[in-house]
Chain A
């Protein structure tokens, strides 16, 4: 090959190559567009019938042909919110400990172990939830909660095993590794100068973390949390196996409930209520998709902003 000829860097090979790669890359936005189009198309019948009121309608009655998504939507929001509430302190605690305080030797191994939690398939979480977690909770924890806090509507009986609370707890375990690993990356990106300056000024190790490092990484951590939320919203199998499958909102956390993904998983193959039922399920999928896109998009923007800031300085 004649080097002089090729130095210009152009040539047909390059154009073809770039075109092929471009084509490959374009499949990804195309996939997103395809999802939007097909979900909307499938949901068309339900959208025409129920409109936006579908989201807030209650009562899911395949026999009568009325479908209201609110119990499923609410269940999704409730279980995800509860899971976040419990997971964020734990995940952040782990992330901070592993970046700031842990002995050097154990940092990588422990981080890897917790990240292994993310590798466990959802259905295996469900299996463990049904046969280990729920029996344990139902024997040792729930009765105590009901006895002590039963005066609150949130802990009123009857105590089913599968319930909103059980689903929230398994979700907590499932999202901890995500929040932790992203937070850890964000914390590692904080310039060491910040910590050193705080310590030089006389802060204790904890104060250095709480007053300087965490505030610096604030928006990245927020991004990690929102990422965890996105994950919780879409979790399907473990929730289906633990939530009790009931299209109803009850005050008690011990009561069964439903989530959008669980409804689809249970009912899509059936859609015994005919094409309208099927369309309503796709409508549900569309809502779920929309919510997760927004949440994940917001999370990514936040993390991207911190990464840019941290790297630039």
Chain B
């Protein structure tokens, strides 16, 4: 009664609808998580939260200002070293594309980007903590920097590849040496590279595992890279796995702050590229 063609068309409509459902299902956790973060986290958003150290165990009040500072210090230090090196590595891989080093670096960077961050943390522990004999923010920066390096390298490389060859050729035709040509290309691709850097910073700001036995954590404000330091993700982990309701509340709020920072960096990054294209 239903001819084969109509049946096939019906099946097509069903399958399409089914796949539309998967979109809804996939978006559901995102919505739920964001809703939880906003609903539970916003409760404790107060000036005190951003300005104070934690209160002693079991007491109310207190904030995570020390952890916000700590994250800025640790991630900032990591970026200071990883970003220039990563950009330079990405430049090499795109400007000298055919060479074996470029191909090797590209492949290894992709592999490293998929490596569990806790493994990198162990390397940082072996080379910094074990050698120095104490935990330190510098060790944490080292771990995060190692994580950022392949990320920044790959995004730089991809973006430099997008710069049209005409630009290079014009510069060369005008008599620029190769290295100045590369700088011209770099300047052109800079917004995109900033994007890649911001995204890498965002990713790495949320990393907890490598900091567990490098930066260790702290209850105090500190600018001293040679001592343990607090960080937002460490604070979330500690408070989430503890028993006190005050801690749980702080964990939600700290997570909200962390997410906002990560998302804002991501949005800023995307805006930068959209402007370019």
Direct contact of A and B (CB under 8 A): yes
A: which residues have CB within 8 A of B?
1-4, 6-7, 9, 11, 13-14, 16-18, 20-29, 31-32, 34-35, 38-39, 41-42, 89-91, 93-94, 96-98, 101-102, 110, 112-114, 116-117, 119-128, 130-132, 173, 176, 180, 204-207, 210, 227, 230-231, 233-237, 241, 261, 264-265, 268-269, 282, 285, 288-289, 292-293, 295-297, 299-300
Contact pick for B258, options A90, A91, A121, A292, CB 8 Å: A121
> Are B255 and A127 in touch, CB under 8 angstroms?
yes
Contact pick for A28, options B120, B150, B175, B202, CB 8 Å: B150
> Are A180 and B89 in touch, CB under 8 angstroms?
no
The secondary structure that dominates the A interface is helix
Contact pick for B122, options A6, A113, A120, A282, CB 8 Å: A282
Contact pick for A90, options B25, B206, B248, CB 8 Å: B25
> Are B212 and A268 in touch, CB under 8 angstroms?
yes
Min CB distance A289 to B, Å, is 5
The secondary structure that dominates the B interface is helix
Q: Does B77 contact A (CB under 8 A)?
A: no
> Are B27 and A236 in touch, CB under 8 angstroms?
no
A191 CA / B187 CA spacing, docked (Å): 33
Q: Does B237 contact A (CB under 8 A)?
A: yes
> Are B105 and A237 in touch, CB under 8 angstroms?
no
Min CB distance B82 to A, Å, is 10
A34 CA / B111 CA spacing, docked (Å): 14
> Are A25 and B16 in touch, CB under 8 angstroms?
no
> Are B240 and A130 in touch, CB under 8 angstroms?
yes
Contact pick for A21, options B88, B110, B172, B241, CB 8 Å: B88
Contact pick for A124, options B23, B102, B206, CB 8 Å: B206
Contact pick for A127, options B12, B240, B263, CB 8 Å: B240
Given A13-B177, A119-B203, verify A94-B119 contact (CB < 8 Å).
no
> Are A204 and B12 in touch, CB under 8 angstroms?
yes
> Are A110 and B266 in touch, CB under 8 angstroms?
no
> Are B15 and A206 in touch, CB under 8 angstroms?
yes
B residues 184-213 in Cβ contact with A at 8 Å: 202-203, 205-209, 212-213
- Residues of chain A within 8 A (CB-CB) of B12 are 204-207
- Residues of chain A within 8 A (CB-CB) of B9 are 204
- Residues of chain A within 8 A (CB-CB) of B111 are 32, 293, 296-297, 300
> Are B236 and A28 in touch, CB under 8 angstroms?
no
Total interface residues on B, CB under 8 Å, equals 91
Most chain A Cβ neighbours within 10 Å, of B15, B118, B212, B270: B118
B: which residues have CB within 8 A of A?
8-9, 11-12, 15-16, 18-23, 25-27, 29-30, 32-33, 36-37, 40, 85-86, 88-89, 91-93, 95-96, 101-102, 104-105, 107-120, 122-123, 125-127, 146, 149-150, 153, 172, 174-180, 182, 202-203, 205-209, 212-213, 233, 236-237, 240-241, 248, 251-252, 255, 258-259, 262-263, 266, 270
- Residues of chain A within 8 A (CB-CB) of B86 are 24
- Residues of chain A within 8 A (CB-CB) of B93 are 25
> Are A288 and B119 in touch, CB under 8 angstroms?
yes
Min CB distance A277 to B, Å, is 14
> Are B175 and A132 in touch, CB under 8 angstroms?
no
> Are B23 and A98 in touch, CB under 8 angstroms?
yes
A124 CA / B30 CA spacing, docked (Å): 12
> Are A269 and B212 in touch, CB under 8 angstroms?
yes
Min CB distance B7 to A, Å, is 10
Min CB distance A202 to B, Å, is 8
> Are A6 and B175 in touch, CB under 8 angstroms?
yes
Closest chain B residue, CB of each to CB of A300: B110
Contact pick for B30, options A34, A114, A231, A285, CB 8 Å: A114
A and B contact pairs by CB, cutoff 8 A, 12 listed: A1-B175, A3-B174, A6-B175, A21-B92, A29-B105, A35-B120, A117-B29, A122-B207, A180-B26, A204-B11, A205-B12, A288-B119
- Residues of chain B within 8 A (CB-CB) of A7 are 175
> Are A28 and B116 in touch, CB under 8 angstroms?
no
> Are A292 and B27 in touch, CB under 8 angstroms?
no
